[in-house]
């Protein structure tokens, strides 16, 4: 495995990559918001920030956990289905990383999609996405362990992030005054 691969599959590598891409993400938010404002869309800045936030905050983590290991394709996929078994052997950075994988999803999805503005729906979405990632790791034989503990931590991270943004997605949406005709 070469140096860049090993470095970019770490927490530090993902953090570095996210910082490098930050100016582009800000520009995309501004461009989308201006376009939506010109089109008369409701809440253009909130919608644009939420959409870019979902992608910007989730893709690097998913990319990192889907990077193949050194023996990818050579070894069969491994599965750990006993809850909390792997958690006891995980390092603190591993636990934190797993909590962050779908945190942006949990934070921004209820801000963008009113239908998703409930904790059970966010948890179900995060769990479903996490299961898809773990199945992909297994099926693609990436030399990674597909663990139920990863699913639990990914889901918990999204739930905690959703609670952090709860104040904003539970606020009533300001609407334009209704004009009544007589």
Q: What is the pLDDT of residues 4-42, one digit of tens each?
A: 556 666 667 777 888 899 999 999 999 999 999 999 999
Mean local confidence (pLDDT), 136-159: 95
pLDDT of residue 167: 93
Residue 54 and residue 108 in contact, taking contact as beta carbons nearer than 8 Å: yes
Percent of the chain predicted with pLDDT > 70: 87
| Count of alpha carbons within 13 angstroms of residue 115, beta-carbon side | 1
What percentage of the chain carries pLDDT values higher than 90? 69
pLDDT of 173 strictly over 70: no
pLDDT in tens, 98-139: 999 999 999 999 999 999 999 999 999 999 999 999 999 999
Q: Quick one: average pLDDT of 41-64?
A: 95
The encoded tokens of residue 74 equal 């050579």
- Characterize the bridge pairing of strands 145-147 and 78-80: parallel
Q: Which of 12, 14, 27, 120 is nearest to 57 (CA)?
A: 14
Does residue 175 have a pLDDT over 70?
no
When pLDDT is averaged across residues 149-159 and rounded to a whole number, the result is 98
Is residue 80 pLDDT above 80, yes or no? yes
Predicted local confidence at residue 7, as pLDDT: 60
Please calculate the CA angle 142-161-130 and round it to the nearest 5 degrees: 25
| pLDDT, mean of residues 51-73 | 90
Q: What pLDDT band is residue 64 in, cutting at 50, 70 and 90?
A: confident
**So what's the pLDDT on residue 8?**
60
Q: Indicate whether 49 pLDDT > 70.
A: yes
- For the chain, give the mean pLDDT: 89
């Amino acid at each position: 495995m070469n140096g860049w691969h090993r470095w970019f599959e770490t927490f530090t590598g993902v953090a570095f990559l996210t910082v490098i891409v930050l100016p582009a993400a800000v520009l995309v938010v501004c461009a989308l918001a201006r376009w939506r404002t010109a089109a008369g869309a409701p809440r253009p800045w909130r919608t644009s920030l939420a959409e870019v936030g979902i992608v910007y905050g989730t893709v690097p983590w998913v990319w990192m956990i889907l990077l193949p290991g050194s023996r990818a394709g050579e070894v069969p996929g491994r599965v750990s289905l006993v809850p909390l078994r792997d958690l006891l052997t995980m390092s603190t950075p591993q636990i934190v990383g797993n909590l962050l994988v779908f945190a942006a999803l949990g934070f921004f999805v209820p801000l963008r999609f009113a239908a998703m503005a409930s904790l059970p729906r966010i948890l179900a979405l995060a769990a479903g996405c996490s299961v898809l990632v773990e199945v992909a790791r297994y099926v693609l034989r990436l030399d990674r362990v597909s663990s139920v503990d990863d699913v639990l931590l990914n889901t918990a991270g999204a739930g905690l992030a959703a609670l952090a943004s709860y104040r904003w997605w539970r606020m009533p949406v300001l609407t334009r005054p209704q004009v009544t005709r007589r």
